[in-house]
Amino acid sequence: SAAMRARVALFPDVAPNLERLARDYPLVALTNGNASLERIGIRHHFHDVVTAVEAGAAKPDARIFDAACERAGVRPIEALHVGDHPHYDIAGARAAGMRTAWVNRSGDPWPGELEPPDATVSSIAELAERLTPATRRELPG
């Protein structure tokens, strides 16, 4: 049911750091599923949301990443895709021409058959810290 799909427990760092990132960047959510960001309570942090149904393709297909860039008004090379799945998120976004940040909360090893992400972070808080304009360190790192 929709209520079950919306039962998402956010890590505590997510909402405050999405708010922080949204002040400086147009955030676009990409989803292969249909979890409701409104029900989860974070939709207001995003400039837009692109679903696989709307894009006519699911991650890792380039079309969903292209649709996100179009909605954000940027070229793929100007975008950073942040995700937790090595194949769907990181390899897919890279193939679409985007830079990538892998959120690896559990310290998993990177799959050796894939080209590594531009950056690896352990949390959205770490991502926000690294992308805050005043303290930005260049990705990768």
At 67-85, the pLDDT tens digits run 999 999 999 999 999 999 9
Report the predicted TM-score, pTM, of the whole model to 2 decimal places.
0.88
Taking 3-state DSSP, the helix, strand and coil percentages for the chain, each rounded to the nearest 5, stand at 45, 15, 45
pLDDT, tens only, 34-61: 678 988 899 999 999 999 999 999 999 9
Model confidence band, residue 10 (pLDDT cutoffs 50, 70, 90): confident
Sorted by sequence, the CB contacts under 8 Å of residue 131 that are 6+ apart come out as: 21, 24, 25, 80
